[in-house]
Structure 1
Amino acid sequence: MTATTFRIGGDLEVRRLGFGAMHLRPDTDEARTAHLALARRAVELGVTLIDTAHMYGWGANEDLLAEALYPYPDGLVIATKVGIRHTTTGEGWRHAGEPADLRAQVDEALGRLRLERIELLQLHRLDPGVPLPEQLGALRDLRDEGKLGRIGLSEVTAAELAQARAVVDIASVQNRYNLLDREHEPVLRACEAAGVAFLPWRPVAAGRSGAREEIAAVAKEVDATPTQVVLAWLLAHSPVIVPIPGTTSVAHLEENLGANAVRLTREQYERLAGLPEGS
């Protein structure tokens, strides 16, 4: 039977369907009101892991979650990410992995989230201009000071994960991954071997799942939606996968979390696993 919870870092228990808050923004009064309600609804429905980042609105996403949910209920984990700073040129962001900058970013995140300790802090991107031991050493020091509980990575290769684990304990990896995009399968398998949580972002393959005939067929067989089927497939695919689907719609939130009740047979799982990747 597919487990419904996972212990990140071996001790931080969360339900395996989390919520990715990336799209929540207080851009207008209407959006702010709707997105505050959505965050609260996620918790009402049993979500215990919410993923955010400084990059999501350059602090606005973290501020909104704190406004919606503080004081946080027992058992709720707000995971955030640092390592990127805003710019007004180029892509709009730059790497920011200098130890002093990482320390400042963590303090800023603690303030926005109204926390004394971030239970899961992920390095949004490895900074190619800063030696990896310096980046992770800064986060390790912050963990030892009690400001962080666990350290994770985002968008890394299996080799980079191995290098990082030689410096500090890694509790999670957040890479793009879904049924139709399994480029990071080697990273997933490395996480599985090490007991590291794998948090796939874009876990639903938005806009494509329902268009695939085999996915639609399985959805009909199990009386679920295509979205629920691909999330259920992820949960069955590896015990370390903790999907974090995001949305700005309460209906879609409820649909996503409904995947917890979907059970695929081995034959259905294998049919889906055999699908070619891509559109």
Structure 2
Amino acid sequence: MNAKHQPATAAGTFRLGADLPVVRLGFGTMQLTGPGVWGDPRDPDEAVRVLRRAVDLGVNLIDTADSYGPVVAEPLIKKALHPYPEDLVIATKAGLTRPGPDRWLPVGRPEYLRQQAEMSLRHLGLDRIDLFQLHRIDPKVPLEEQLGELQLLQQEGKIRHIGLSEVSIEDVERATKTAPIVSVQNLFNLADRKAEPLLEYATDHGIGFIPWFPLATGKLSLADGPLAGLARQLGTTPSQLALAWLLKRSSAVLPIPGTSSVKHLEENVEAAGITLSDTEFEALSQAV
């Protein structure tokens, strides 16, 4: 299937760990679960259609976590896409437990992280997870112990690459003393750029930067939002502009917009084909 029928590929590729190519516009699965990222989706059949359509459109990076549901998103991926295309990269995470809807508590004990990695392998139907991310650093457990267990799993062939989530530059530098880090995943979008220094660091060091909430949980997609005027001028949608801005911001940025709707998915993926001029990029940067 060529790029015309796979619009996501227009975003170009990035190599995680220098050896794992991914299309830069990926898909995040958090919104495939119930309210509060808790329980099953309202429409399980549509969730399956969304995942299959994402791959049809050229997306080959699917981001998920054991805690989405919990244990909802990973089995959905397996149901929709297994046996997997050869080039599909599934990135999952462990290190956050779920005592209830919208509640997240870090647990980084080595035995827990190993258990969750083994469970993710089972739920996804994989022999090896291409990218396994520490969902949060547990302040009660030495970072070296948390990453040391992931490195053991890596040496056993159960994890290919290791990533981190919601970290600082100092965290990354400390982590790399224990294990190679190929990606970081932090809150970042046009409306919230506090992670700019980390993005610069990741770009300079060849580390993939995965911005979560790339559309600011929908605030940047509003028809009367801050991007609406520019979107009308350019003949796009606000959400497409927000994603195009991220893709232009750095070649290391790997946005993973999520949705439970095929229609919204298709709209988001079209952002890969939008090339912003420097002037348009600056106008967007100033608009929010």
Work out which of the residue numbers 219, 241, 258 in structure 2 matches 1:207. 219
% same residue = 46
Is the Cα contact below 8 Å between 1:77 and 1:119 reproduced in 2?
yes
The residue that corresponds to 2:279 in the other structure is 267
- The CA deviation at 1:29 is 8.5
Letter of the structure 2 residue corresponding to residue 21 of structure 1: T
Cα displacement string for residues 167-221 of structure 1 (whole angstroms, at most 9, x for unaligned residues): 21101111111011101111111111111000001101212344345x2333233
Query: Given the alignment of the two structures, is residue 231 of structure 1 paired with residue 243 of structure 2, yes or no?
Result: yes
- Structure 1 CA distance, aligned partners of 2:111 and 2:23? 34
Work out which of the residue numbers 137, 146, 164 in structure 2 matches 1:153. 164
Query: Given the alignment of the two structures, is residue 116 of structure 1 paired with residue 124 of structure 2, yes or no?
Result: no
Is the Cα contact below 8 Å between 2:215 and 2:257 reproduced in 1?
yes
131-140 or 203-212, larger mean C-alpha shift = 203-212
Query: Given the alignment of the two structures, is residue 180 of structure 1 paired with residue 191 of structure 2, yes or no?
Result: yes
Is the Cα contact below 8 Å between 2:11 and 2:25 reproduced in 1?
no
Unaligned runs of 5+ in 2: 1-9
The residue that corresponds to 1:96 in the other structure is 107
Letter of the structure 2 residue corresponding to residue 244 of structure 1: I
147-156 or 78-87, larger mean C-alpha shift = 78-87
- Structure 2 CA distance, aligned partners of 1:25 and 1:265? 37
166-175 or 108-117, larger mean C-alpha shift = 166-175
Query: Given the alignment of the two structures, is residue 14 of structure 1 paired with residue 22 of structure 2, yes or no?
Result: yes
Work out which of the residue numbers 83, 88, 92 in structure 2 matches 1:76. 88
- The CA deviation at 1:23 is 1.4
If the length of structure 2 is used for normalisation, what is the TM-score? Answer: 0.90
The residue that corresponds to 1:258 in the other structure is 270
Work out which of the residue numbers 192, 202, 205 in structure 2 matches 1:191. 202
- Structure 1 CA distance, aligned partners of 2:21 and 2:251? 13
* Residues matched between the structures, number: 273
- Structure 1 CA distance, aligned partners of 2:233 and 2:178? 47
Letter of the structure 1 residue corresponding to residue 148 of structure 2: G
The residue that corresponds to 2:177 in the other structure is 166
* Root mean square deviation of aligned Cα: 1.9
Work out which of the residue numbers 115, 123, 140 in structure 1 matches 2:151. 140
Is the Cα contact below 8 Å between 1:98 and 1:135 reproduced in 2?
yes
- The CA deviation at 1:275 is 3.5
The residue that corresponds to 1:219 in the other structure is 231
- Are residues 273 and 99 of structure 1, via their aligned partners in 2, closer, same or farther at CA, if it must alter by over 3 Å? same
Matches within 5 A, 1:55-70: 55-70=67-82
Cα displacement string for residues 20-48 of structure 1 (whole angstroms, at most 9, x for unaligned residues): 01111385696111111111111111110
Work out which of the residue numbers 37, 45, 60 in structure 1 matches 2:49. 37
- Are residues 265 and 114 of structure 1, via their aligned partners in 2, closer, same or farther at CA, if it must alter by over 3 Å? same
